[in-house]
């Protein structure tokens, strides 16, 4: 068991205890991520360009939404997604808090009025996640892994820190097993389930399952 002390983007101290994984496996995982991303770079780039144009024409504001998240070993990084909400979505959050149907720290409003027309399509097809391929190429994320931890660890229990043993992922067990119907605590348990059994074959299986869900148009 190893202990690591990291810092969030806001400077908060993070103490994490985790079971160390063989370095060879993480190197193989990283190599697979890069090869996969480069292999699909052209079609992903074309689709991303169409999404960017649609977002620009649909509503004012930046095309890409960036937010600090906590990555491997507690290192902060900027995670990128296509913007699916109105430009002042964060400012409107407080006024809509009474409509939240999930317990803290989750926040979900049925038919959220902040989501744009194009944003609803991007979310349903999961195309809003495409910019995260840049995070993968930079080594900040992996194709498969724990859900990216948000900045600020005040709501975390000690055992949550094991999630920071590996890079966060674009997809994972947490997205495929009831992402919209599970609690914060349950989703983190899915993260730990992945970490404790992860392998290249498991990554490939989860990627295939993710693609099938996307093609069905149910979102992930």
Task: For residues 71 and 159, give the distance between their C-alpha atoms in angstroms, rounded to a whole number.
Answer: 16
pLDDT at 216 over 60: yes
Distances (CA, A) of 154 to 139, 148, 183, 186, 192: 26, 16, 17, 17, 19
pLDDT at 22 over 80: no
Of the pLDDT bands very low, low, confident and very high (cuts 50, 70, 90), residue 40 is very high
Q: Specify the pLDDT at position 19.
A: 46
Q: How many domains does the chain have?
A: 1
- Closest of 134, 148, 127 to residue 67, by C-alpha: 148
Cα 148 → chain centroid: 5
pLDDT at 186 over 50: yes
Structure token pair of residue 61: 């504001």
pLDDT digits (tens, 9 = 90+) for 92-139: 888 888 887 777 667 788 889 999 999 999 998 999 999 999 999 999
State pTM to two decimals.
0.80
- Closest of 51, 53, 43 to residue 124, by C-alpha: 51
More confident residue, 25 or 29: 29
Q: What is the mean pLDDT of residues 172-177?
A: 83
The C-alpha R_g of the chain, in whole angstroms, comes to 17
Q: Which domain holds residue 60?
A: 2-216
- Quick check: 173 and 213 in contact, CB under 8 A? no
């Amino acid at each position: 068991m190893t202990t690591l002390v990291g810092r969030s983007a806001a400077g908060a101290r993070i103490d994490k205890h985790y079971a160390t994984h063989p370095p060879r496996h993480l190197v193989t995982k990283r190599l697979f991520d890069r090869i996969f991303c480069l292999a699909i770079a052209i079609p992903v780039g074309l689709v991303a360009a169409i999404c960017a144009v649609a977002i620009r024409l649909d509503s004012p504001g930046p095309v890409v939404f960036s937010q600090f998240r906590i990555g491997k070993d507690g290192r902060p990084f900027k995670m990128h997604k296509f913007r699916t909400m109105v430009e002042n979505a964060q400012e409107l959050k407080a006024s809509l808090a009474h409509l939240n149907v999930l317990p803290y720290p989750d926040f979900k409003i049925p038919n959220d009025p902040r989501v744009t027309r194009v944003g609803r399509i991007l979310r349903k097809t999961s195309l809003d996640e495409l910019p995260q391929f840049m995070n993968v190429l930079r080594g900040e994320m992996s194709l498969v892994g724990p859900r990216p931890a948000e900045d600020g660890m005040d709501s975390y229990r000690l055992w949550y820190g094991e999630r920071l043993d590996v890079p966060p992922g674009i997809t994972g067990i947490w997205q495929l097993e009831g992402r919209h119907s599970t609690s914060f605590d349950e989703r983190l348990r899915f993260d730990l389930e992945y970490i404790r059994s992860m392998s290249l074959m498991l990554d490939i299986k989860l990627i295939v399952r993710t693609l099938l869900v996307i093609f069905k148009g149910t979102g992930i």
